[in-house]
Amino acid sequence: MSSDYPSFSGFKLNKQLLSAISDAGFEHPTAIQQKAIPQILAGVDLLGIAQTGTGKTAAYLLPVLMKIKFAQGDSPRALIIVPTRELATQVLEHMNKLGKYTDLRMAAVYGGVGIKPQIEQIEKGVDILVATPGRMMDLYSAEHLVLKKIQMLILDEAERLLDMGFKRQIDKILGIVPMKKQNLLFSATMSDRIQLLTDSFLDRPVVIRIEPERRTAKSVSQVLYHVPNLKTKTNLLLHLLTDEAFRKTIIFCKTKATAANIGKYMERKFGEQQVRIIHGNKDQNTRMNAVKAFHAGEIRFLVATDVAARGLDILEVSHVINFDVPLVYEDYIHRIGRTGRAFQTGDSVTFCSPNDEYHLKKIQKLIGQKIPVMEIPAEVEIAETPNEENQLMLREIDGQRKKDDPEFAGAFQDKKGRKPQPFLSQRRKRT
């Protein structure tokens, strides 16, 4: 077995799990999976410092599914505590996928929805439970939930659990569940608070850290273009991509529609053989095949939305182009982190339209630096902003200002009847 390409069959997982892994399209374990799965299977407590997107969920789910093995009794034997309803449903979905060939009964409980169906489901018997702290404690206090059979307890996204003020509830939960059990804690970052939680929760834990190298990756250069509108973005994209240096490039777009349009445009310009498009409407196999072809160097450009790219092992690219500024700010770090690995250096280029400026500010705050601005090259045609696009942008900007200042009346409404100033002229002056 090559250490570069280890396989899931190297782990002590049963056939049911291996088949589900294969159905899910996972070919190789990710770094955290390689490190964590054998340790968790061996029964130790574990602290995993890893961000979303590293495959950390399957890193704990697979051993949990393996160890809880089959349906038994009525009360849960594994409990996964997560901060949000979204994450709860996501983890359940992931678990249903990986546990589909087992008879394990899995459920998720979270607030914001009726409690009755959750009570009914628990009463039918559950082997593995995913829960947000508040709803879980409600169910426990009302005696719908028995926790004395818990053998494995997982705190996922622990730093967010603490950020959201769940510390007291977590302490309570730790007081209720049996002392003797296997404990796992996953957090995107390490901090004093996480250290304290680790000390109180884990017994001589193995620590696995998947470095968020992206934050510090010096080999990745970043540049930013202020671009007035979609057409100019497209012109600039085409200009950049004609440079041979862009040899293995991902173009990230905010929406499926943009990804599809840009992808088609690029297919026309560079030939269908050079481009693949992945977004949420493409099935997992199509996405995996696209990524495979990209990795193999069969295609030069991959156009993707974040959602589609998340979780796919797209590493080692020469360039990342953010056709749009990502709205999930962490995604900026994830996106640019894909460059500059096997390639000695990687470049990331971000296009920022006027309605993106708000998000750009937040991203710059998150990464703690200003992204250097480049001027749009003279050869690139700067197109007029169509009125409709201009209006949409203005409306979005109004919404952003209102978010920060609820008193803000909205410049857009004030300009009734008057054609709003297009962004083009403003940008021209700056450059």
Judged by the rule CB under 6 A, the positions of this chain that interact with ligand AMP are 26, 28-30, 33, 52-58, 310-311, 313
Name the residue whose CB lies closest to ligand AMP.
311
331/389 with CB nearer ligand AMP: 331
| Residue 207: CB minimum distance to ligand AMP, A | 18
Other C-beta atoms closer than 10 Å to the C-beta of 222 total 19
d(CA 175, CA 156): 18
Nearer to ligand AMP, 26 or 301 (CB): 26
Site of tokens 């009964």: 105
Q: Which is nearer to ligand AMP, 29 or 63 (CB)?
A: 29
Helix residue ranges, H only, 300-431: 306-309, 330-336, 357-367, 387-404, 411-414, 423-430
Cβ 58 to ligand AMP, closest distance in Å? 4
CA 370, 372, 378, 380 torsion: positive or negative? negative
CB of 259 to ligand AMP, least distance (A): 18
CA distances from 13 to 16, 21, 151, 273 (A): 8, 10, 19, 39
Min CB(25)–ligand AMP separation in Å? 7
Nearer to ligand AMP, 121 or 284 (CB): 284
Q: CB of 23: closest distance to ligand AMP in angstroms?
A: 12
CB nearer to ligand AMP: give 313 or 396: 313
Q: Using the minimum distance from each CB to ligand AMP, give the nearer residue, 144 or 310.
A: 310
| Cβ neighbours for 204, distance < 8 A, ≥ 6 positions apart | 44, 45
Rounded CA-CA distance 377/398 in Å is 30
Do the Cβ atoms of 188 and 159 come closer than 8 Å? Answer: yes
Relative to beta strand 249-253, strand 346-352 is unpaired
Shortest distance in whole angstroms from residue 173 CB to ligand AMP: 22
Q: Using the structure block, give the residue that is written with the tokens 């190298």.
A: 213
Minimum CB separation of residue 54 from ligand AMP in Å reads 5
Q: How far is CA 255 from the centre of its chain?
A: 15
> What is the DSSP secondary structure assignment for residue 317, as one 8-state letter?
B
Comparison of 28 and 415: residue with beta carbon closer to ligand AMP: 28
Q: In what order do the strands lie in the sheet with 275-278?
A: 275-278, 301-305, 249-253, 319-322, 346-352, 220-226, 373-374
CB of 153 to ligand AMP, least distance (A): 18
- Nearer Cβ to ligand AMP, position 29 or 354? 29
**48 or 422, CB closer to ligand AMP?**
48
Taking the complex as a whole, how short is the minimal distance between the CB of residue 53 and ligand AMP, in angstroms?
5
Contact between 91 and 57 (Cβ < 8 Å): yes
Q: Are strands 152-155 and 78-81 parallel, antiparallel or unpaired?
A: parallel
